Amino acid sequence: MRSRAALAILALSLAGAAAGSPPEAPPWWRKLAVVGLDGAPLVPDGRRIVVVFLSQECPVSNAYIPVLNKLASDFSGRGFAFVGAYVDPEAGLPALREHARAYAISFTTADDRGHGLVRAASATLTPEAVIFSGEGAVLYRGRIDDRVGDLGFARPAAAHNDLRDVLEAIAAGKSGPFPPQPGFGCFIPEPVRS
């Protein structure tokens, strides 16, 4: 009887330790070796990963940060992990950290100056959003909304909130993939070759 009680206590303590352990990145994400701006491996905490490609030099990208902060706040508790991927290969980490701080980016930021995420997502612009399933399939790639239209003109407000609409659809159980929406922004620069 005593050994059964000891086994039950051990099983409960192991289950509790597993429940409190940090999340593990899916295999496809680990293969990309994504790191945060601190150089540590980045482990997103969500069933789906929303990667938004950012550039500290792109005014369109910078203008969308408040919208992205709001989306991250609204959807992080619904199974989505938001990651802002900095893609400028010539930027230094101190400048990227300062940019994230100065613009009060509220979601996780990644160092993608080597373009691993850019290649995985086939991204071409900042800001461009890509939603990955837990298995690494691209569910959506495209604009955040249509506030900035063709040729770079800006509307006072967006008429179509594409990223929010797709996030709502996925949260409601739709599986996708969803049609890509072309956006406007700054082209992602080519990586530096040594």
Q: What is the CATH number of domain 26-187?
A: 3.40.30.10
pLDDT in tens, 121-173: 999 999 999 999 999 999 999 999 988 766 666 767 777 889 999 999 999 99
pTM of the complete model = 0.85
Amino acid found at 58: C
pLDDT at site 190: 87
Mean pLDDT of 110-119: 97
Mean pLDDT of 10-23: 44
Residue 183 banded pLDDT, cuts 50, 70, 90:
confident
Quote the CA–CA distance of 117 and 130 in Å, as a whole number. 10
Backbone φ and ψ of 142, nearest 5°: 155, -155
Residue 118 banded pLDDT, cuts 50, 70, 90:
very high
C-beta atoms surrounding 67 within 10 Å? 18
Quote the CA–CA distance of 111 and 122 in Å, as a whole number. 17
Quote the CA–CA distance of 175 and 49 in Å, as a whole number. 14
pLDDT at site 66: 96
Domain boundaries, the chain: 26-187
Backbone φ and ψ of 100, nearest 5°: -60, -40
Alpha carbon 37 to chain centroid, angstroms: 14
